[in-house]
Amino acid sequence: MTGEAAATDWKAEEGRWLLPGYPQFPFTLARGEGAWVFDTEGRRYLDLYAGHAVALLGHCPPAVVAALRRQAGELLFYSTLACIPVRARAAKALVELCGEVGSRVFFCNSGAEANENAMRVARRTTGRRTIVATEGSFHGRTAGALAATGIPHYREGVAGLGTDVVFVPFGDLAAAEAALGPDAAGFLLEPVQSLAGALPPPPGYLEGLSALCRKAGAMLIFDEVQTGLGRVGAPSAAQAYGVRPDLQTFAKGLGSGVPCAATLAGPRAAAAVRTGDLGSTFGGGPLACAAIEATLGEIVRTRVWENAARLERRIRETFRMPGVLAVQGKGLLLGLVLDRPAKPVQKALIGRSILTGTAEDPRVLRLLPPLIIGDAEVELLRAALSEILGGKPA
């Protein structure tokens, strides 16, 4: 970066021109490579948050960058009004990795859209209206996805949200059975609740939900926006837990940072969708599909889910230290439960050039790293965290 560019106060420029969004890290990023990002001053940071779990294969994976360059020189965009080979290849790759015979894909642009379309398909398939969702869940910020988000403060002050959503406690099969009445179109949940603090399902819960949905004639919908594509130690959470949902949603790491998402419909749901039921101008565009195809190809080639499972075991074994009460989650979607508030610890880690996340549970430090990290990166975090927690409680 040139001296003139580096000297620009980019935070002030963003504040001048952009509406506020997330609270920001105290630096300005210039580039990324693998598990590392670099600021405009040349300092590098170990990224164990991956930009909300997006940099699944690390920053700027070469195979994806090369695919984007090729596609950008051929066709930047055309909607699904026209058939494009790369779209068919991307859909086939997703079905082969996470679906079953008879599954089909609808591409869109964000996890929120994917979840809204999954609920729409469930209603279309069953002819019913009500969606059962879980307390503590997060499904996106569009109206329909927000209506099904089980963290109340995200819904506060937002008018026009749907009233055909019923919330039940995560992990409570009795409450789920009571809610799955004759008007229940589907049961939507994150198999592992990420923002809530990387909360895994209780043993038998997902299997029980599957049986209850079949009995009630409702569709089981897995929001795999964060759990999918290798993060929980298998290509999908459905595979990790041995449960086959009717619908799954994917986003985040699906395109290695190119905005894209997908609703994956199993055979029953796919058979109910007709031409014109779903639509998206930008969903399934050639640039996004080139990123999806290349990303899925690398996931399969490298079997990154095996590394996620291995490093989960290592973290559980080596993070037994004063200040860490528990390690919860699955694969590399983990929450370190601390004996103190997590935000000051997150800030102290940034001071040591390590990026992590927090959660709705104020004691949880959330880890969503690229799946390409190794033992050395885990040890950097362990050593820094040991030093920080060994001091006075924040």
Q: Which residues contact 42 (CB under 8 A, 6 or more apart)?
A: none
Q: Cα(150)–Cα(147) distance, rounded to whole angstroms?
A: 8
List, in sequence order, every beta strand (DSSP E) within the chain.
29-33, 36-39, 44-47, 104-108, 130-134, 165-168, 184-189, 219-223, 247-250, 261-265, 324-330, 333-338, 354-355, 357-358, 364-367
Q: Are 121 and 284 in contact (CB under 8 A)?
A: no
- In the chain, which segments carry CATH 3.90.1150.10? 3-61+303-389
Return per-residue pLDDT of the chain as tens, 394 residues: 445 555 789 989 998 999 988 889 999 999 999 999 999 999 999 999 999 999 999 999 999 999 999 999 999 999 999 999 999 999 999 999 999 999 999 999 999 999 999 999 999 999 999 999 999 999 999 999 999 999 999 998 887 787 799 999 999 999 999 999 999 999 999 999 999 999 999 999 999 999 999 999 999 999 999 999 999 999 999 999 999 999 999 999 999 999 999 999 999 999 999 999 999 999 999 999 999 999 999 999 999 999 999 999 999 999 999 999 999 999 999 999 999 999 999 999 999 999 999 999 999 999 999 999 999 999 999 999 999 999 644 4
Q: Cα(173)–Cα(220) distance, rounded to whole angstroms?
A: 14
Q: How many residues does the chain have?
A: 394
pTM: predicted TM-score of the whole model, two decimal places: 0.95
**Residue 215: both structure tokens together:** 């009995």
Q: Cα(252)–Cα(148) distance, rounded to whole angstroms?
A: 19
Rg (CA), the chain: 21
User: How distant is the alpha carbon of residue 364 from its chain centre?
Assistant: 18
Candidates 3.90.1150.10, 3.30.530.50, 3.20.20.150, 3.40.50.10440; CATH matching 3-61+303-389 = 3.90.1150.10
Q: Alpha helix (H) ranges present in 127-165?
A: 143-147, 152-155
Helix or strand run (H / E) with residue 95:
helix 85-98
Candidates 3.40.640.10, 3.30.70.260, 3.40.50.1370, 3.40.630.30; CATH matching 62-302 = 3.40.640.10
Q: Are 256 and 118 in contact (CB under 8 A)?
A: no
Please report the pLDDT score of residue 17 as a whole number. 94
Virtual torsion, Cα 322, 356, 26, 50, nearest 10 deg: 160
Tell how strand 36-39 and strand 219-223 pair up: unpaired
- In the chain, which segments carry CATH 3.40.640.10? 62-302
**Strand order of the sheet with strand 130-134?**
104-108, 261-265, 247-250, 219-223, 184-189, 130-134, 165-168
